[in-house]
Amino acid sequence: LIEQNMTERLKSETLQSAKARLPGFDRRALRPGIIHIGLGAFFRAHGIAYNDDAIETDPAVQNGWGIIGVSLRSPSQRDRLAPQDGLYTAIERSASGDRPRVMGSLLHSIVAPENPMGLVETLADPAIRIVTITVTEKGYCHDPATGRLDPAHPDIVLDLQNPESPVSLPGFLIAALALREARGIAPFAVVSCDNLPSNGKLLHGLIRDFAALRDDRLAGWIERNVAFPTTMVDRIVPASSHDDLLLAQNLTGLSDLAPVIHEPFRQWVIEDTLRAADRPAWDRAGAQFVSDVEPFELMKLRMLNGTHSALAYLGFLSGYETIAQTVADPAFRDFLAGLWHEEIIPTVPAPAGTDLAAYAVRLLERYANPAISHRTAQIAMDGSQKLPQRILGTIRNRLKNGAAWDRLALTVAAFIRYTAGTDEKGHPIDVKDPLADRLKADGQANPAAHLRRVTSIESIFGADLGRDERFLEAVEAAYRVLLSGGAHAAVKAINRAAK
Ligand code: CS2
């Protein structure tokens, strides 16, 4: 009850007392035009910020772009957001202070498993013209190494048996598109905002594979009519903690069970297949519409997410809890500079108008933001889904060119060391990964046997790397260094060797 009373205080009527920037439009005039799938902190701090800005540029014209949120699994976000009318505080944090803002374009939220057919109906509503998606890498039910649909994925198996009442992301999209096609309703555009290579193209391929398993005519209609723009999204948004609820309350004077904390920086690059008339004025909020997003995506996945994962595994094993703590260590700064300049940047074609060295400088500033507590353990999650596009593609480039990749090898070894499940003090690590069982070290096996077992997982390492002796030897050597002297010594040894 107390909780209920508190959350009541973020309802529209009581907002005026907030010490925060409020939505610059009348929420009562807002109508839904977008369904967003995946209610985690990221989209609420990124996409919704662009959307609120876009609506504010011209509320009378833009008010058809309210958002209905969807959780594919857990009711927890909806349960927090519903009593506060979908309103929540986004807090921009930097060394110079905190800037709270109440976000207004999320209308209400739906929990898919509570009524899957109801959600399919909502997705088929002609008013819905865009579906945006942040379900993280593992929500796509694909094989990360090949980018193709995994027909053996348990959710895909279920959805093929029971297409009208889906559970998976591809299942919901197909069911809703099928209904729209049958009713003669134009499709929605599908806008993936996850950190996957060519995310639009990838999702398009999954939907094509899935539709072909169901019905060729539907597959043809989707092929001819549905836009899947590729996007690059960027903003550092750590998972919210209990302390963040207190921070929000202290800053605004309002209770909020669903605040999000984010850095000042944001970037959204979207393929211009989405016509201006068919979307909110996200460009007026700073989103870039370009014909080729891939160079932006490659730069971001390799330079940001790749080094994030490297710092997460090596930093965690070295005893650091956050990215900011890790990069405050001069040994890690050296290592990171080498990783960027010697190993990653040579594999990245610069997107038009971008200087990669300056991009790296900016990234280091963002990582070092002392006000953002981005936990190494959070970034370490789901490594089996992340490594292929963040690290392994870069390694393939290096191998092809016969160039050095010591720091990338150490990163792969640190992933294997971390997911084996014990830290350097012998304490268990809570490994969160869909393949956790297969990554866990078996107490009986020797290190070389464990390494061979893990590198033979083709959904991570592909059919090539696990059989490439150059790859196996380098990763094994790095793994032995990690086991004998620990992660911090391994990082320092690489720095020394490079001098
Ligand atoms: C991070 C990303 O959690 C992770 O794996 O690397 O969430 C990263 O913070 C964002 O992609 C930044 O845009």
What separation in Å is there between the alpha carbon of 384 and the centre of ligand 1? 15
pLDDT of residue 2 exceeding 50, the answer is no
Q: What is the pLDDT of residues 49-63, one digit of tens each?
A: 999 999 999 999 999
Q: What's the CA dihedral at 236, 239, 243, 244 to 10 degrees?
A: 60
Going by alpha carbons, the residue nearest to atom 8 of ligand 1 is 236
- Cα separation, 476 vs 450, in Å, equals 10
**pLDDT at residue 443, rounded to an integer:** 79
pLDDT of residue 5 exceeding 60, the answer is no
Question: Which of these, 288, 302, 413, 401, lies nearest to 348 by C-alpha position?
Answer: 302
Q: What is the pLDDT of residues 436-451, one digit of tens each?
A: 999 999 877 799 999 9
- Cα separation, 409 vs 392, in Å, equals 9
pLDDT of residue 284 exceeding 50, the answer is yes
pLDDT band at 8 (very low <50, low <70, confident <90, very high): low
**pLDDT at residue 299, rounded to an integer:** 98
* Ranges 103-117, 123-137, 220-234, 437-451: which has the least confidence: 437-451
pLDDT band at 14 (very low <50, low <70, confident <90, very high): confident
Residues with CB under 6 A from ligand 1: 195, 234-236, 304-305, 308, 378-379, 386
pLDDT of residue 4 exceeding 60, the answer is no
Phi/psi of residue 107, each to 5°?
A: -85, -65
- Cα separation, 80 vs 259, in Å, equals 10
Q: Quick check: helix, strand or coil at residue 102? A: strand
What separation in Å is there between the alpha carbon of 305 and the centre of ligand 1? 6
What separation in Å is there between the alpha carbon of 373 and the centre of ligand 1? 13
Instruction: Give kind and range of the element (H or E) at residue 491.
Output: helix 487-498
For a ligand 1 pocket test, name from 379, 382, 389, 391 the mutation site with the most ligand atoms within 8 angstroms of its C-beta: 379
Going by alpha carbons, the residue nearest to atom 1 of ligand 1 is 379
The rounded percent of the chain whose pLDDT value lies above 90 is 93
Q: What is the pLDDT of residues 360-408, one digit of tens each?
A: 999 999 999 999 999 999 999 999 999 999 999 999 999 999 999 999 9
pLDDT of residue 275 exceeding 90, the answer is no
- Cα separation, 36 vs 70, in Å, equals 6
Q: What is the mean pLDDT of the chain?
A: 95
The residue with tokens 């309703």 is 185
pLDDT of residue 28 exceeding 80, the answer is yes
For a ligand 1 pocket test, name from 195, 269, 323 the mutation site with the most ligand atoms within 8 angstroms of its C-beta: 195
**pLDDT at residue 1, rounded to an integer:** 39
Strands 97-103 and 88-94: what pairing? antiparallel
56-62 long-range contacts (CB < 8 A, ≥24 apart) are 56/23, 56/24, 56/25, 57/281, 57/284, 57/285, 58/281, 59/24, 59/25, 59/26, 59/29, 62/25, 62/280, 62/281
Strand partners, 91: 100, 261
Q: What's the CA dihedral at 472, 379, 76, 116 to 10 degrees?
A: -40
Question: Which of these, 330, 305, 326, 327, lies nearest to 317 by C-alpha position?
Answer: 326
Question: Which of these, 152, 164, 141, lies nearest to 215 by C-alpha position?
Answer: 164
- Cα separation, 402 vs 252, in Å, equals 56
- Cα separation, 318 vs 334, in Å, equals 15
Per-residue pLDDT, averaged over 90-103, amounts to: 96
Question: Which of these, 230, 190, 183, lies nearest to 210 by C-alpha position?
Answer: 190
Residues in CB range of 276: below 8 A, 6 or more apart: 283
Strand partners, 171: none
- Which atom from ligand 1 is nearest to the alpha carbon of 382? 5
User: What are 472's two structure tokens?
Assistant: 């196996």
- Which atom from ligand 1 is nearest to the alpha carbon of 386? 5
Going by alpha carbons, the residue nearest to atom 9 of ligand 1 is 236
CA 267 remoteness from chain centre = 14
Q: What is the model's pTM? A: 0.96
Per-residue pLDDT, averaged over 327-337, amounts to: 98
Alpha helices (H) in 226-317, listed in sequence order: 242-252, 294-299, 306-317
What separation in Å is there between the alpha carbon of 236 and the centre of ligand 1? 6
Per-residue pLDDT, averaged over 291-316, amounts to: 98
**pLDDT at residue 7, rounded to an integer:** 55
CA contacts within 13 A on the Cβ side of 461? 21
DSSP 186: P
Q: What is the pLDDT of residues 207-254, one digit of tens each?
A: 999 999 988 999 999 999 999 999 999 999 999 999 999 999 999 998
